[in-house]
């Protein structure tokens, strides 16, 4: 069931908090409506001081990178405790993590890796997502990742994500760049993929420009958002009750005017999408 | 039959290039040697080994990128050799763990590089990663030599450079 208030309201739009643009974010420019902080950037007591400066200025979301929700067995208590400390300081509207694994009891790969879309993995993710949301006392969003590798599974990724959101009572943080990158590397139609996702699950978007090298597409978080991404974002905002969009640039930071222009462009696109909503349908 | 957990075997294959290359040549042999279950072996044999290698290279690339951001001067000094040197280092070095893993990786890479690392950057990163309160490091480069004094104060690292003369 789609909440009509959300389908007609313009999503909040803002950047991921990064040191090179911290002064700009803290100066309160009008283009920024919300901010996402990466939990692991604030692990360590000293760092929490700067986080408390940010809390209260903007609606925040706390985004995790290393809880490894797809790893069987209990969550890493030490990592979880640090994550929860950041949540308590930031008091965010949402928390988010990935549909992925980053480590096992033997190896910490340090970055996101794909999971097989199986009932066992679904069970693990649902248990971990529920525990995380309960202990943080915040609504949880889970993000689709990009991967070169696809693993043999028992159901399509879209069905897996729908069931995950239903069973864990969480929302989907749809990384539009990851969707486009995967669709190019694995040759599928991103709009068909989107059509298979329950619109009401999609609560937040991530976007950043992709990189392409010899026909291989990557999410290096180092480029401005390209035109085809803006088009896909517009389709998603028209399709689903998205409540916020985060631009997650990690490298090659341009002048802040360019970042502000990206946020303004996203707002214009959202206005266009929301003035012609097509809930449950995608206009191609 | 329920599907096996693939995270452990995948983590092994993605982090260990020798094991991965052996697996690509002889998947059944490696799977048996590591005592994977028949169901795990069946799932692993469905993997596209070209994409497995691409995923592993992507992970290594992300790890390398993080270290290059922590050691910009060293990376610049190494020039075109930097990626290959890091890959050589990564072949033997364990994958560091925890949220400070990139810092630990950078410190270990500096030790691997020895004199090829920027001495000031190396001293600073090794000090930061070691959680020490105070250190005095011998540094040099660009025809000069001296000492770097490092002090940790309220979760920040402060440093003072004292040049004592020209290096040979």
How far apart are the C-alpha atoms of B68 and B79, rounded to whole Å?
11
CATH architecture type of domain A4-275: Alpha-Beta Barrel (3.20)
Structure confidence at residue B93 (pLDDT):
86
Cβ atoms of A205 and A176 closer than 8 Å: yes
Compute the average pLDDT of residues A227-254.
96
Choice between A282 and A170, residue whose per-residue pLDDT is larger: A170
Compute the average pLDDT of residues A211-229.
94
Question: Cα distance from A190 to chain B (closest Cα, Å)?
Answer: 20
Compute the average pLDDT of residues A206-227.
94
How far apart are the C-alpha atoms of B115 and B61, rounded to whole Å?
24
How far apart are the C-alpha atoms of A82 and A94, rounded to whole Å?
17
Cβ atoms of B51 and B90 closer than 8 Å: no
pLDDT digits over A234-243, tens only?
A: 999 999 999 9
Q: Are strands B134-141 and B156-166 parallel, antiparallel or unpaired?
A: unpaired
Cβ atoms of A144 and A178 closer than 8 Å: yes
Locate the chain B residue with the closest alpha carbon to A221: B62
Interface contact flag, A151 B7, Cβ < 8 Å? no
Structure confidence at residue A1 (pLDDT):
44
Closest CA to A173 of A19, A32, A22, A64: A64
Looking at residue B149, the DSSP 8-state letter turns out to be: E
CB-CB neighbors (< 8 A) of A120 in chain B = 2-5
Q: Is the pLDDT of residue A169 over 70?
A: yes
User: What percentage of chain A reaches a pLDDT higher than 90?
Assistant: 83
Residue ranges in chain B whose pLDDT is less than 50:
none
Give me the interface pTM, i.e. the ipTM: 0.87
Choice between B26 and A246, residue whose per-residue pLDDT is larger: A246
How far apart are the C-alpha atoms of B129 and B123, rounded to whole Å?
10
Please state the separation of Cα A175 from the chain's center in Å: 5
Q: Is the pLDDT of residue A99 over 60?
A: yes
Q: Is the pLDDT of residue A121 over 60?
A: yes
Structure confidence at residue A46 (pLDDT):
61
- Per-domain boundaries in chain A: 4-275
pLDDT digits over A255-267, tens only?
A: 999 999 999 999 9
Q: A230: burial class by Cβ within 10 Å (0-12, 13-18, 19+)?
A: middle
Structure confidence at residue A49 (pLDDT):
63
Residues 6+ apart with CB under 8 A from B101: A108, A110, B95
Interface contact flag, B155 A44, Cβ < 8 Å? yes
Q: Is the pLDDT of residue A283 over 60?
A: no
pLDDT digits over B68-104, tens only?
A: 999 999 999 999 999 999 999 998 888 888 888 899 9
Locate the chain A residue with the closest alpha carbon to B2: A120
Q: Is A85 on the interface with B (CB under 8 A)?
A: no
Structure confidence at residue A167 (pLDDT):
98
Cβ atoms of A225 and A262 closer than 8 Å: yes
Q: What φ, ψ does residue A25 adopt, rounded to 5°?
A: -65, -45
């Amino acid at each position: 069931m789609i909440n009509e208030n959300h389908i007609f309201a313009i999503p909040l739009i803002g950047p991921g908090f990064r040191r090179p643009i911290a002064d700009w974010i803290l100066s309160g420019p009008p283009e920024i409506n919300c901010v996402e902080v990466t939990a692991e950037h604030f692990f360590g007591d000293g760092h929490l001081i700067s986080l408390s400066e940010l809390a209260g200025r903007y609606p925040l979301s706390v985004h995790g990178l290393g809880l490894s929700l797809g790893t069987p067995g209990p969550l890493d208590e030490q990592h979880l405790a640090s994550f929860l400390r950041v949540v308590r300081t930031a008091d965010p509207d949402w928390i988010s993590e990935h549909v992925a694994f980053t480590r096992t009891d033997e190896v910490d790969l340090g970055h996101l890796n794909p999971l097989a879309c199986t009932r066992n993995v679904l069970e693990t993710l649902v248990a971990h997502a529920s525990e995380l949301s309960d202990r943080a006392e915040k609504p949880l969003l889970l993000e689709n990742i990009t991967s070169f590798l696809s693993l043999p599974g028992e159901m399509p990724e879209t069905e897996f994500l729908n069931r995950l959101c239903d069973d864990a009572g969480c929302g989907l943080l749809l990384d539009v760049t990851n969707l486009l990158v995967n669709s190019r590397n694995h040759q599928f139609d991103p709009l068909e993929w989107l059509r298979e996702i329950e619109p009401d699950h999609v609560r937040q978007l991530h976007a950043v420009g992709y990189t392409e090298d010899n026909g291989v597409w990557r999410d290096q978080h180092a480029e401005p958002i390209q035109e085809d991404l803006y088009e896909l974002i517009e389709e998603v905002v028209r399709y689903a009750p998205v409540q916020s969009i985060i631009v997650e640039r990690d490298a090659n930071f341009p002048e802040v005017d360019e970042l502000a222009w990206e946020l303004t462009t996203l707002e214009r696109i959202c206005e266009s999408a929301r003035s012609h909503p097509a809930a449950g349908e995608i206009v191609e | 039959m329920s599907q096996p957990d693939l995270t452990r075997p995948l983590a092994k294959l993605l982090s260990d290039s020798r094991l991965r290359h052996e697996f690509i040549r002889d998947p059944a042999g490696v799977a048996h040697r590591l005592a994977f279950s028949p169901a795990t072996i069946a799932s692993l044999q469905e993997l596209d080994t070209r994409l497995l290698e691409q995923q592993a290279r992507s992970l290594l690339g992300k790890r390398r990128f993080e270290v290059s951001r922590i050691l910009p001067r060293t990376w610049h000094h190494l020039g075109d050799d930097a990626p290959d040197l890091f890959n050589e280092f990564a072949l033997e070095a364990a994958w560091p763990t925890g949220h400070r893993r990139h810092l630990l990786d950078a410190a270990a890479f500096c030790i691997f590089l020895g004199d090829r690392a920027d001495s000031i950057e190396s001293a600073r990163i090794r000090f930061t990663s070691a959680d020490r309160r105070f250190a005095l490091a011998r540094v040099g480069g660009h025809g000069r030599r001296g000492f770097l004094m490092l002090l940790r104060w309220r979760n920040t690292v402060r440093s003072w450079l004292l040049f004592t003369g020209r290096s040979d």
